[in-house]
Amino acid sequence: MLSYRHGFHAGNHADVLKHFVLIQLLEYMGQKDTAYTYVDTHAGAGLYALDSGYASKNAEFETGIAPLWDRKDVPAALAQYLDLVKKMNPSGKMRYYPGSPYCANAVMREQDRLRLFELHSSEIKILSENFRKLDAHASEQGHRPTVRGKRVIISDGDGFESLKALLPPPSRRALVLIDPPYEVKDDYRRVKVCLEDALKRFPTGTFAVWYPLLHRQESRQFPEKLKRLQANSWLNVSLSISTPSPDGFGLHSSGMFILNPPWTLAATLKEVMPYLVSVLGKDKGAGFVLESGDGPVTGKR
């Protein structure tokens, strides 16, 4: 059942969209002194090698981080994301790509808390080991370790179910990323049910959902179902890099749906999304959609 390994897709165009938006959300959360909690329901391995192993097989990073690597005209907001990835590669060569837990850990402050969940037995072992290495490096540099203690807790568990016990957090401030593999159709239903429960427990929380845009009906209907959730506000952004293939295979589009987004995010996306389309787009099918309760903004290459 649990066969999905994100390493095959690390650094692709969907990761660029997801992690760019995630960093914007985290930066906004950090503007207030009060600590906040970041919850990652499907954390993965945390860090991925691009020049070996799973990522090198399909080289999907060539559709995402690679075209951005040497660009000198990157918008400031997107540069925050790119700089974070480059800090993971001090040699200057594009070798490692950070997953959501690493992105969050790099942006968050000492007083903030990370709660990371992963069910895949191999992935959680790698995730734990990667954070242990972060601790060792911090100690070598004379910094306080991040994992030991309460700041980062890594759990082998179902993120959908485990989220219930964490809401509302003690500080009443939280960002939740829900990013399942969508290998099975039921993931779409589980995301919606999870959010319905989460909004009842913590209606002011910020919830970010990554989703693929595929031919299957569940995928196409998914954003419309999320719009009907009882949240104060929502924002939906999707990026397409090419026209869908006739056979329906391959991921050409993905989206991020944010419930209770920061008021600044829409303006940032209006600036950055046309740039991503221009750099990552492969044909006339490339484009983006940005919409909220206030109306849509659509762009093509």
pLDDT of residue 7: 61
Report whether pLDDT(1) > 50. Answer: no
pLDDT tens for 227-248 read 999 999 999 999 999 998 877 6
Average pLDDT over residues 140-158: 72
pLDDT of residue 2: 45
pLDDT of residue 140: 56
Report whether pLDDT(57) > 80. Answer: no
Instruction: Say what percent of the chain tops pLDDT 70.
Output: 88
pLDDT tens for 80-136 read 999 999 999 999 999 999 999 999 999 999 999 999 999 988 899 999 999 998 866
CA–chain centroid gap for 26, Å, is 11
CB neighbours of residue 175 within 10 Å: 24
Average pLDDT over residues 129-154: 70
What is the CATH architecture of 16-48+107-300?
Answer: 3-Layer(aba) Sandwich (3.40)
Would you list the domain boundaries of the chain? 16-48+107-300
Q: What rounded mean pLDDT belongs to the chain?
A: 90
pLDDT of residue 3: 45
- Greater pLDDT, 46 or 136: 46
Exposed/middle/buried for residue 30 (C-beta within 10 Å: 0-12, 13-18, 19+) = middle
Average pLDDT over residues 214-236: 92
Instruction: Say what percent of the chain tops pLDDT 90.
Output: 76
Q: Which two tokens stand for residue 293?
A: 């309760």
pLDDT of residue 5: 57
Residues annotated as part of the active site: 179
pLDDT tens for 8-29 read 789 999 999 999 999 999 999 9
Report whether pLDDT(267) > 70. Answer: yes
Report whether pLDDT(149) > 90. Answer: no
- Is the separation of the CB atoms in 130 and 152 below 8 Å? no
Give dist(CA 172, CA 205) in Å, integer: 8
Average pLDDT over residues 274-296: 91
- Greater pLDDT, 293 or 135: 293
- Is the separation of the CB atoms in 209 and 235 below 8 Å? no
